[in-house]
Structure 1
Amino acid sequence: MSATPHDTWRERVDALWAEADAIGDEALLAGMTELAAEHPDDPEALAELGGAHDSTGHPVEAAALYRRAVDAGLAEPELSRVTIQHASTLRNLGQHDASIQMLRDHFGAQPDHELASAASVFIALALATNGREREAVAELMRTIEPTLPRYNRSVAAYADALEAGDI
């Protein structure tokens, strides 16, 4: 990462993520650890460090950092992104129900949020990896239904029937 003295912390974080594939996991984690150390209790720095741990295959550490970021007062729009990332990490750790609940708690009250559809995808993934494939498909059908030009009523009814085991 070639930062200049005029780069902001956010610009340096973004630059590090932009070169993550080229520099590899060890360099990404080392670079983000260094950047986060500049703001050790800042919720955004904790979230970025959590993301680096997540991205480099350290889900236990990532989950703890995501929790710390939220507890430290992480604000939008980062809060919604970290909620998805944290829930995905919990799913990877086998905590399917916690993953689903976290996403439903956060996005359920704001179905028009720009990331609500993405959250539904991660809910469906958690349901499917927990052996609840019918619920997963129904979740995705309900997410797609409002965007359909036709057949909305039928798709909604089929989602309910699928989840109920009637089809």
Structure 2
Amino acid sequence: MFLAMADEAWEARCAALWERLDEFGREEFVQAMQDLAAETDDEAVGLFEVGGAHDSKGFTEQAVGYYGRAVEAGLSGVRRRRVSIQMASSLRETGRPEEALALIEEERGRGSDAYDGALAMCEALTLAKLGRDREGLSVALVALAPHLPRYQRSTVNYARGLVGLDPVS
């Protein structure tokens, strides 16, 4: 019980630090997150959050290393899904879009959750980076379709047509 309360308190402090992201300079925020991460007993979570701090402040290449170590340390739950999205984005932006796309495809195979749209956004941008704009647009439209008040089926069929797939009935 005490450990769960301690974890909740740490999570609240972490969320509060993220809310103040724009109040810090680049190095200051990263250092603040490193200091906070040193206080958690969950190494994978600490590595993930430090990676995110690097990423959010423009240290994208360094973020990839932290993300990879977080996965190796056993990152799980929603942060596992988020690390795939964030690492794929970082890989794309550091000139490794092929690695990013492979990571996205692997993550998609893990199942479906509230981050499906974010995963699709990352995939669409990665496909565009690879010069596969029509595929990227198709992915984005399929992800958007469920959120439209009408025209969901039409949108999906147009998206499928962009990449030469038959319409769904």
Query: What is the TM-score when the length of structure 2 is the normalising length?
Result: 0.82
Query: Contact between 2:100 and 2:126, CA under 8 Å: does it hold in 1?
Result: yes
The 5 A counterparts of 1:17-166 are 17-39=18-40, 42-111=43-112, 113-148=113-148, 150-164=150-164
* Unmatched 5+ stretches in structure 1: 1-5
For structure 2, the residue ranges without an aligned partner over 5 or more in a row are 1-5
Contact 1:40 1:46 in 2 (8 A): no
- Residue 64 of structure 1 deviates from its aligned partner by 0.7
The CA distance in 2 between the partners of 1:148 and 1:114, in whole Å, is: 17
Is the 1:29–1:52 contact (alpha carbons within 8 Å) kept by the matching residues of 2?
A: yes
What letter matches 1:125 in structure 2? L
Q: TM-score if structure 1 supplies the norm length?
A: 0.83
The CA distance in 1 between the partners of 2:154 and 2:125, in whole Å, is 24
1:27-62 CA-partner distances (Å, limit 9, x unpaired)? 101111212233487100000000011111111211
Q: CA deviation at 1:79?
A: 0.9
Q: In 1, distance between residues paired with 2:54 and 2:150?
A: 43
Deviation of 1:25 (Å) = 1.6
Identity %: 38
